Amino acid sequence: MLNARALAATALLPLAANAQNQVNMSTGVSEAGAVITDLGVEIYDLHMLIFWICVVIGLGVFGVMLYSIYAHRKSKGVEPSQFHEHTGVEIAWTIVPFFILIGMAVPATSTLLEVYDNDDAEMSILVTGYQWKWKYEYLDADGENVAFFSNLATSQEQIYNTDTKGENYLLEVDEPLVIPVDTKVRFLITANDVIHSWWVPEIAVKRDAIPGFINEAWTRVLAEGVYRGQCTELCGAYHGFMPVEVHVVSRDEFDDWMAAKKGAAAADAALAATELSVDELMARGEDVYNASCLACHGANGEGGLGNAIAGSAIAMGGLDSHLNVIVNGVAGTAMQAFGAQLSDVDVAAVTTYQRNAFGNNTGDVVQASDVVSYKEG
């Protein structure tokens, strides 16, 4: 056994020198030494407390065992003792662990009560899990909610090893969640299709996103910075490709960002009332396609988890049936109702793109007004 330990230790050495290989839970403290969240620090301390208790007990048990293996072997000519059963010892090793457990349960209970203290939040954000992206909706007292989707930003080329992987490979999104520093933020967490789980290790928030139910969680982040996480509940083929990216910024920056978001939403609405050129629609459509369609339908519309779009009877057939699939989804399949996820302009753009890209070349141009009139039926 000692041999195995020594060998394993040698195998670990070259890795231990590499600081990139984090071996423990996030401490809740940033590299600069600032506390990220009080709760994160508390959970880390609890984790280490239990860990060290286990280490001490383990050293005791394994120490006795190893000594016994060393000293009480037949090859040393020892005669086996025949003792068995000792009420005192047996009661002791039942009672003592019980008290150790009470010592663990006390701090665990107080930390858990804090995790569940969702009161007095200063702002609320509705987090919705979709296959395979997150939607963030800032709930506004005046009803002017700001909502957007947050998709994986890592390119397919990086994933399929034809391009160098970036520093934040698989942990980067096109539009991060932005929250103000030192503000108690309440997350309302749910899902649109299957169960997901929203997790950011450094701010110590993980809660399942369950379709039809709304869970609550909260955080108060004390250090500005970028924090990354991932979906942690198996949610289908691309479960590994729906990261969470949270930017914690100053109050002022947050207000500016929020104003810009509201402005952009208004601009989008204005855009929906105008006619766009084919080139504009195609460019916009390609972006939408890459963010929302590519994972299932392939980079060249060749299909995959979903049907092929190149040469497809739907993409090259009647416009209404094409819009029906995009806007309403296909029940019982992974094809979602994108009418609720994308703006009318984006639906128009991606429909135009699908009808003209990948050699489909139908020449059809779809405007936002077409989408609106389709939706109105």
Partner 1 sequence: MGDHHHGPAKGLSRWLYTTNHKDIGTMYLWFSFAMFLLGGAFAMVIRAELFQPGMQLVEPGFFNQMTTLHGLVMVFGAIMPSFVGLANWLIPMMIGAPDMALPRMNNWSFWILPPAFLMLASTLLMEGGAPAFGWTFYAPLSTTYAPPSVTFFIFAIHILGVSSIMGSINIIATVMNMRAPGMTYMKMPLFVWTWLITAFLLVAVMPVLAGAVTMMLMDIHFGTSFFSAAGGGDPVLFQHIFWFFGHPEVYIIILPAFGVISQIIPAFSRKPLFGYASMVYATAAIAFLSFIVWAHHMYTVGMPVAGELFFMYATMLIAVPTGVKVFNWVTTMWRGAMTFETPMLFSIGFLVLFTIGGFTGLMLSIAPADFQYHDTYFVVAHFHYVMVAGAVFSMTAAIYFWLPKWTGRMYNETMGKVHFWVSFIGFNITFFPQHFVGLAGMPRRIPDYALQFADFNMMSSIGAFIYGASQLLFLYNVIAAIVAGEKVSDEKVWDGAEGLEWTLPSPPPYHTFETPPKIEEQPAH
In this structure, what token pair is assigned to residue 163? 């391009």
Q: What are phi and psi of 123, to 5 degrees?
A: -150, 160
Q: Which is nearer to partner 1, 168 or 343 (CB)?
A: 168
Tell me: does residue 4 bind partner 1 (CB under 8 A): yes
Verify binding: residue 73, partner 1, rule CB under 8 A: yes
Closest by CA to 366, choosing from 263, 245, 251, 285, is 285
Contact range with partner 1 by CB under 8 A, out of 60-68, 142-150, 218-226, 271-279: 60-68
Q: Are strands 243-249 and 205-209 parallel, antiparallel or unpaired?
A: unpaired
Q: Does 171 bind partner 1 (CB under 8 A)?
A: yes
Residues 192-221 that bind partner 1 (CB under 8 A): 193-195, 197, 199, 201, 204-208, 210-213, 215-216
- Nearest Cα neighbor of 198 from 239, 167, 168 is 239
Of 108 and 139, the one with the shorter C-beta distance to partner 1 is 108
Q: How far is the CB of 185 from partner 1 (least distance, A)?
A: 17
Long-range contacts at 321-328 (CB < 8 A, ≥ 24 apart): 322/351, 322/354, 322/355, 323/347, 323/351, 323/366, 323/370, 323/371, 323/374, 326/350, 326/351, 327/371, 327/374, 327/375
Residue 236 touches partner 1, criterion: CB under 8 A:
yes
Interface with partner 1 (CB under 8 A), residue from 115, 123, 310, 314: 115
The footprint of partner 1 on residues 178-197 (CB under 8 A) is 193-195, 197
Span 303-342, contacts to partner 1 by CB under 8 A? 304-305, 332, 334
3-class DSSP state of 255: helix
Closest distance of CB 253 from partner 1, Å: 26
Alpha-carbon torsion (11, 17, 21, 24), positive or negative = positive
Q: Looking only at residues 119 through 138 of this chain, which bind partner 1 when binding is defined by CB under 8 A?
A: 131
Residue 79: burial class (beta carbons within 10 Å; 0-12, 13-18, 19+): exposed
Report CA 81 to chain centroid distance, whole Å. 57
| By the rule CB under 8 A, 232 interacts with partner 1 | yes
Query: What letters, b where the CB count within 10 A reaches 16 and e where it falls short, cover 152-184?
Result: bbbeeeeeeeeeeeeeeebbbbebbbbbbbebe
The site that binds partner 1 (CB under 8 A) totals a number of residues, namely 105
- Residue 259 CB, shortest distance to partner 1, in Å, is 33
Decide if residue 237 touches partner 1 (CB under 8 A). yes
Footprint on residues 14-53 left by partner 1 (CB under 8 A): 15, 18, 20-26, 42-43, 46-47, 50-51
Q: How many CA atoms are closer than 13 Å to the CA of 150, on its beta-carbon side?
A: 29
Q: Assess 229 for contact with partner 1 (CB under 8 A).
A: yes
Q: Which helix (H) or strand (E) holds 106?
A: helix 87-115
CB of 302 to partner 1, least distance (A): 13
Nearer to partner 1 (CB atom), residue 90 or residue 144: 90
Candidates 2, 31, 32, 98; binder of partner 1 (CB under 8 A) is 98
